[in-house]
Copies of this chain bind each other. A is one copy, B any other.
Amino acid sequence: MYTSREDVTEAIVIARVRKGLNWADIARQVGRSKEWTTCACLGQMVFSEDEARTVIGLFDLDQTALPWLCAVPYKGSFDGGAPGDPLLYRWYEMLSVYGPALKELIHEEFGDGIMSAIDFRMQVGREADPAGDRVRVTISGKFLPYRPY
Protein backbone atom coordinates (compact mmCIF):
# COMPACT_ATOMS: atom_id res chain seq x y z
CA MET A 1 0.00 0.00 0.00
CA TYR A 2 1.52 3.31 -1.08
CA THR A 3 0.98 6.40 1.08
CA SER A 4 2.72 9.07 -1.00
CA ARG A 5 3.99 9.72 -4.50
CA GLU A 6 7.54 9.28 -3.16
CA ASP A 7 6.59 5.70 -2.17
CA VAL A 8 5.41 5.01 -5.69
CA THR A 9 8.53 6.52 -7.23
CA GLU A 10 10.76 4.42 -5.01
CA ALA A 11 8.85 1.29 -5.98
CA ILE A 12 9.25 2.15 -9.68
CA VAL A 13 13.01 2.72 -9.29
CA ILE A 14 13.42 -0.62 -7.52
CA ALA A 15 11.25 -2.56 -9.97
CA ARG A 16 13.06 -1.13 -12.98
CA VAL A 17 16.50 -2.21 -11.71
CA ARG A 18 15.15 -5.61 -10.60
CA LYS A 19 13.44 -6.30 -13.95
CA GLY A 20 16.10 -4.70 -16.12
CA LEU A 21 13.57 -2.54 -17.99
CA ASN A 22 14.60 0.20 -20.45
CA TRP A 23 13.22 3.74 -20.26
CA ALA A 24 12.84 3.76 -24.03
CA ASP A 25 10.64 0.61 -23.92
CA ILE A 26 8.66 1.91 -20.99
CA ALA A 27 7.97 5.14 -22.89
CA ARG A 28 6.85 3.22 -25.98
CA GLN A 29 4.29 1.33 -23.90
CA VAL A 30 3.08 4.47 -22.10
CA GLY A 31 2.79 6.15 -25.50
CA ARG A 32 4.82 9.29 -24.67
CA SER A 33 8.33 10.53 -25.43
CA LYS A 34 11.10 8.88 -23.38
CA GLU A 35 12.07 12.28 -21.88
CA TRP A 36 8.60 13.04 -20.49
CA THR A 37 7.96 9.42 -19.41
CA THR A 38 11.22 9.09 -17.47
CA CYS A 39 10.61 12.44 -15.79
CA ALA A 40 7.04 11.38 -14.86
CA CYS A 41 8.11 7.92 -13.59
CA LEU A 42 10.63 9.68 -11.37
CA GLY A 43 7.76 11.55 -9.69
CA GLN A 44 7.73 14.92 -11.44
CA MET A 45 4.65 14.76 -13.75
CA VAL A 46 0.97 13.73 -13.64
CA PHE A 47 -0.16 10.60 -15.55
CA SER A 48 -3.62 10.19 -17.04
CA GLU A 49 -5.57 7.24 -15.59
CA ASP A 50 -4.84 5.10 -18.65
CA GLU A 51 -1.15 5.84 -18.54
CA ALA A 52 -1.11 5.17 -14.80
CA ARG A 53 -2.66 1.73 -15.37
CA THR A 54 0.07 0.91 -17.90
CA VAL A 55 2.72 2.04 -15.43
CA ILE A 56 1.19 -0.09 -12.68
CA GLY A 57 1.25 -3.10 -14.99
CA LEU A 58 4.80 -2.57 -16.20
CA PHE A 59 6.26 -2.30 -12.71
CA ASP A 60 3.87 -4.73 -10.91
CA LEU A 61 2.69 -2.00 -8.54
CA ASP A 62 -0.46 -2.57 -6.49
CA GLN A 63 -3.64 -0.63 -7.24
CA THR A 64 -3.15 1.94 -4.46
CA ALA A 65 -0.53 3.56 -6.73
CA LEU A 66 -3.26 4.82 -9.05
CA PRO A 67 -4.46 8.00 -7.27
CA TRP A 68 -0.88 9.03 -6.46
CA LEU A 69 0.24 8.71 -10.10
CA CYS A 70 -2.69 10.94 -11.11
CA ALA A 71 -2.28 13.58 -8.36
CA VAL A 72 -0.07 16.66 -8.74
CA PRO A 73 3.21 15.92 -6.93
CA TYR A 74 5.61 18.19 -5.06
CA LYS A 75 8.28 18.63 -7.72
CA GLY A 76 11.99 19.33 -7.85
CA SER A 77 15.03 17.33 -6.79
CA PHE A 78 17.53 20.01 -5.74
CA ASP A 79 17.89 21.53 -2.31
CA GLY A 80 18.49 25.18 -2.96
CA GLY A 81 21.17 27.61 -4.03
CA ALA A 82 19.06 28.68 -6.98
CA PRO A 83 19.96 31.83 -8.96
CA GLY A 84 17.61 34.75 -8.19
CA ASP A 85 17.07 36.07 -11.72
CA PRO A 86 13.78 34.69 -13.13
CA LEU A 87 15.23 33.71 -16.53
CA LEU A 88 18.19 31.90 -15.01
CA TYR A 89 15.92 30.36 -12.40
CA ARG A 90 13.77 28.58 -15.06
CA TRP A 91 16.90 26.80 -16.26
CA TYR A 92 17.78 25.80 -12.74
CA GLU A 93 14.23 24.53 -12.18
CA MET A 94 14.37 22.63 -15.47
CA LEU A 95 17.49 20.91 -14.13
CA SER A 96 15.78 20.22 -10.80
CA VAL A 97 12.68 18.74 -12.45
CA TYR A 98 14.32 17.00 -15.43
CA GLY A 99 17.82 16.34 -14.01
CA PRO A 100 17.20 12.82 -12.69
CA ALA A 101 15.51 11.89 -15.98
CA LEU A 102 18.45 13.32 -17.94
CA LYS A 103 20.81 11.25 -15.79
CA GLU A 104 18.83 8.07 -16.45
CA LEU A 105 18.59 8.60 -20.20
CA ILE A 106 22.27 9.44 -20.68
CA HIS A 107 23.29 6.39 -18.64
CA GLU A 108 20.84 4.22 -20.58
CA GLU A 109 22.34 5.33 -23.89
CA PHE A 110 26.03 5.68 -22.92
CA GLY A 111 26.67 3.82 -19.63
CA ASP A 112 28.44 5.27 -16.57
CA GLY A 113 30.12 8.61 -17.22
CA ILE A 114 29.29 12.27 -17.73
CA MET A 115 28.49 14.71 -20.53
CA SER A 116 31.39 17.14 -20.69
CA ALA A 117 30.78 20.79 -19.86
CA ILE A 118 34.26 21.56 -21.24
CA ASP A 119 34.24 19.83 -24.65
CA PHE A 120 30.89 21.46 -25.18
CA ARG A 121 28.87 23.60 -27.63
CA MET A 122 25.59 25.46 -27.23
CA GLN A 123 23.30 27.13 -29.80
CA VAL A 124 20.37 29.45 -29.06
CA GLY A 125 17.66 30.13 -31.63
CA ARG A 126 14.00 31.00 -32.27
CA GLU A 127 11.30 28.47 -33.14
CA ALA A 128 8.29 30.11 -34.76
CA ASP A 129 5.00 28.89 -33.27
CA PRO A 130 1.45 30.22 -33.87
CA ALA A 131 0.73 29.93 -30.11
CA GLY A 132 3.72 32.15 -29.35
CA ASP A 133 7.37 31.76 -30.45
CA ARG A 134 9.65 29.43 -28.56
CA VAL A 135 13.30 29.54 -27.52
CA ARG A 136 15.24 26.54 -28.88
CA VAL A 137 18.57 25.68 -27.32
CA THR A 138 20.74 22.86 -28.65
CA ILE A 139 23.52 21.56 -26.47
CA SER A 140 26.26 19.12 -27.45
CA GLY A 141 28.85 17.74 -25.05
CA LYS A 142 31.30 14.87 -25.42
CA PHE A 143 30.47 11.76 -23.42
CA LEU A 144 33.30 10.84 -21.01
CA PRO A 145 33.08 7.29 -19.55
CA TYR A 146 34.30 6.23 -16.09
CA ARG A 147 36.83 3.43 -16.72
CA PRO A 148 38.02 0.94 -14.07
CA TYR A 149 41.80 0.54 -13.61
Contacts and interface: CB of A to CB of B under 8 A. Distances in A.
Nearest to A38: B101
A128 B107 CA distance: 16
Interface in A22-76: 22-24, 32-36, 38-40, 42, 44-46, 48, 51, 64, 67-68, 71-72, 74-76
B94 A88 contact: no
Interface in A77-99: 77-99
A149 B121 contact: yes
A124 B109 contact: yes
Given A42-B104, A114-B90, A121-B35, A109 B126 contact: yes
Contacts of A125: 109
Interface residues of A, number: 104
How many copies of this kind of chain does the complex include? Answer: 10
A89 B103 CA distance: 11
Interface in A105-129: 105-127, 129
A89 B139 CA distance: 15
Nearest to A99: B88
19 contacts: A3-B14, A35-B149, A39-B97, A40-B148, A45-B148, A75-B86, A76-B85, A78-B84, A80-B82, A87-B106, A87-B114, A92-B95, A102-B122, A102-B124, A106-B135, A110-B135, A121-B149, A135-B143, A137-B139
